[in-house]
Structure 1
């Protein structure tokens, strides 16, 4: 393992090697080389991609003692010496994020004595799960500041192969799980950690680290963060969003948050007033419909929630009524049937009878049912079928 090119020089972008064998696995072909700079998936770090000669490599996995370079192209005729070239943008991004994770994790241990229990390097974000139930904003800021101080100091990132007996010489952040081929990644006087991933040669190459969010996962806290070029991409995206919001609110960017807060408050108040007015209209409709013993009505573009409210208002106004309501909502029909407190007939009989007519689904109880389905009959026909159940 010590002689693998991605361990000998993690900054190597191109290399030459010899083909050992080729093969096929499911719908993919693969190439095995006598050495490689392509990093296979492992230790929380995704695989490299790139090219072997002109063949695109889409995945790299370690299978027993082989490192297989997978492609969707035919590799059967490839042999002899090849030239490998990494997708360096992808590799360097992974190295930035992985080294940033080491730094952030070590900062949590140094300042707060909080260990990391898991790590995930995603396409857009990186996460670590902390073995703690809660962290404060002040603690997060202190840890982020410490991590960026280490990055700005541009400390050397060293790697060292050691034996199990030699581990006692190092102040390891956590126990090493492997028994042999033990590889340490070291940031002197800050972090000593067993790791099989690739990292840049100095902390300065991580660029910058930014914590974006936290979430509670059972009794742990998940930290979402990014490093390096991902920070620039996030900053550009957020700048674009902020500029757009400020433009739509007609305020300077620095005032956008306050303007948006006021806009949301106004919208919420308007929505509440509108809901109250809609209820008043429904109550007015209910009073008129409640004059009938079996109030029947159909509407166009009424939500099931509005039908339910109207039915409740009707039966409150007239406890002896049975309300039958249908809405024609474009390609589907929806209905509500409700009884007043003085009625004993179960409304479930209505839904049982009419749901098959519209290939529909519904639910409810003896006092109120609702449902909806395909518009294979008209709203009037559906109402007549509902009324027929009551009459019978």
Structure 2
């Protein structure tokens, strides 16, 4: 029976001995099945325990076809196994999972939002709420209520019941099974079916901190941490803050203002740089236009957007100009063709010849075209083809 499993009988138990029922292999991974176990298998959003059996590392624990498989680094080759779990990992999972129960109930109480899924990750925990309209004030209210329940150090009760014994009116969410239903109850707060491991009191969760939220397909994902993870997150953020304070050379309390000044200065520099680049491009365009009516220029590693600007500017600088530009960017050879306002040649004709030569794609109008493709042709060879297409 489920309730006879050692991890349910005592979630604080870390060591045990059990007979080995059988050993096997799955996808090249050896595993052992025991008569009973302290190792919790992955399930209900809670990850599996790790540890050792007979000194051999247990890397994963899964329930398959009613049996718990302990995947090990090498076969046990034994009739009896002595096991010990990684208690730090187990207790962390107990804190995070219980924190999820508390926070989920808090969102129901303070915002009327149900949790539809739960994920316990290595660094943070998340729940998905059935709403896309959550605001910061609701996050704060739920976090405050959750920490009140934690500080009250309420007893956490686990109880095995059947469907007939359930108080369906108090259930937080429906339960699919009818026999061996395990309830995790926080008196006068939460009444829920759960197969995870939990501490004896809410106070053992320590504290709960919401890290943020994000919209996820008409739902809201809330990220949070509990217990020792709160201290770990605080330590990481404090290290980042210290580094930022050193880089900005401002007191910690002036960090926000220092960042604002830095962003303003950066935007100003970006604007100045863009203006300088435009001026340089205009000078380059005028220089090309001054070289003659038909302009041919080859380049390497320049964006097609930059070539478009250059082509248009050169065509505008001389009314009868024909501007033919080509650029090699890695395997791709791209082109731009533009004409001045008084030129009569068709740039579509140029594009047709260039695309046939490169086997690429492109298009445009009678006055301006662009395109390119993967071809071994050089930029100079492509320019010659383009010029020939209009009799130059």
Is the pair's TM-score, using the shorter chain for normalization, greater than 0.5? Answer: yes
Question: What CA deviation, in whole Å up to 9, does each residue of 1:72-117 have, x standing for no partner?
Answer: 42x1x52222111112222222221111110100001112221111
- Residue 383 of structure 1, CA deviation: 4.2
Does the CA contact (< 8 Å) of 1:19 and 1:82 recur in 2? yes
Q: Distance in 2 between matches of 1:377 and 1:26?
A: 51
Question: What CA deviation, in whole Å up to 9, does each residue of 1:328-354 have, x standing for no partner?
Answer: 66x666533122365423243354245
Unaligned 5+ segments in structure 1 are none
Report what 2:312 is aligned to. 312
Q: Distance in 2 between matches of 1:9 and 1:22?
A: 26
Does the CA contact (< 8 Å) of 2:300 and 2:328 recur in 1? yes
Report what 2:115 is aligned to. 116
Q: Distance in 1 between matches of 2:276 and 2:128?
A: 48
Question: What CA deviation, in whole Å up to 9, does each residue of 1:42-70 have, x standing for no partner?
Answer: 11111122211121111111111111111
SS in 1 for 2:294: coil
Q: 1:365 to 1:84 in 2, by over 3 A?
A: farther
Report what 2:355 is aligned to. 352
Q: Distance in 1 between matches of 2:313 and 2:35?
A: 80
SS in 2 for 1:168: coil
1:146 and 2:145 aligned:
yes
- Residue 242 of structure 1, CA deviation: 1.2
SS in 2 for 1:295: strand
Does the CA contact (< 8 Å) of 2:358 and 2:377 recur in 1? no
Q: 1:232 to 1:33 in 2, by over 3 A?
A: same
Q: Distance in 2 between matches of 1:30 and 1:351?
A: 64
Q: Distance in 1 between matches of 2:234 and 2:167?
A: 43
Report what 1:303 is aligned to. 303
Does the CA contact (< 8 Å) of 1:351 and 1:369 recur in 2? no
**Larger deviation, residues 289-298 vs 44-53:** 289-298
SS in 1 for 2:198: coil
Q: 1:97 to 1:390 in 2, by over 3 A?
A: farther
Q: Distance in 2 between matches of 1:169 and 1:219?
A: 28
- Residue 297 of structure 1, CA deviation: 2.1
Q: Distance in 2 between matches of 1:21 and 1:46?
A: 24
**Larger deviation, residues 287-296 vs 318-327:** 318-327
Q: Distance in 1 between matches of 2:387 and 2:87?
A: 72
Report what 1:71 is aligned to. 72
Does the CA contact (< 8 Å) of 1:23 and 1:31 recur in 2? yes
How many aligned positions are there? 384
- Residue 388 of structure 1, CA deviation: 4.7
- Residue 378 of structure 1, CA deviation: 5.7
Report what 2:336 is aligned to. 337
Unaligned 5+ segments in structure 2 are none
Report what 2:234 is aligned to. 235
Name the TM-score, length of structure 1 as normaliser.
0.89
Question: What CA deviation, in whole Å up to 9, does each residue of 1:1-57 have, x standing for no partner?
Answer: 000011111111111111000001112111000001111111111112221112111
**Larger deviation, residues 302-311 vs 314-323:** 314-323
Report what 1:94 is aligned to. 93
Q: 1:166 to 1:351 in 2, by over 3 A?
A: farther
- Residue 316 of structure 1, CA deviation: 3.5
Q: 1:390 to 1:344 in 2, by over 3 A?
A: closer
Report what 1:27 is aligned to. 28
SS in 1 for 2:37: coil
Does the CA contact (< 8 Å) of 2:345 and 2:390 recur in 1? no
Report what 1:43 is aligned to. 44
SS in 1 for 2:90: helix
- Residue 182 of structure 1, CA deviation: 0.3
SS in 1 for 2:178: coil
Q: Distance in 2 between matches of 1:345 and 1:351?
A: 10
- Residue 379 of structure 1, CA deviation: 5.0
- Residue 138 of structure 1, CA deviation: 1.2
Does the CA contact (< 8 Å) of 1:337 and 1:350 recur in 2? no
Q: Distance in 2 between matches of 1:304 and 1:86?
A: 60
**Larger deviation, residues 185-194 vs 151-160:** 151-160
Any residues of structure 2 matched to 1:234-273 within 5 Å, and which? 234-273=233-272
Any residues of structure 2 matched to 1:149-160 within 5 Å, and which? 149-160=148-159
Q: 1:185 to 1:275 in 2, by over 3 A?
A: same
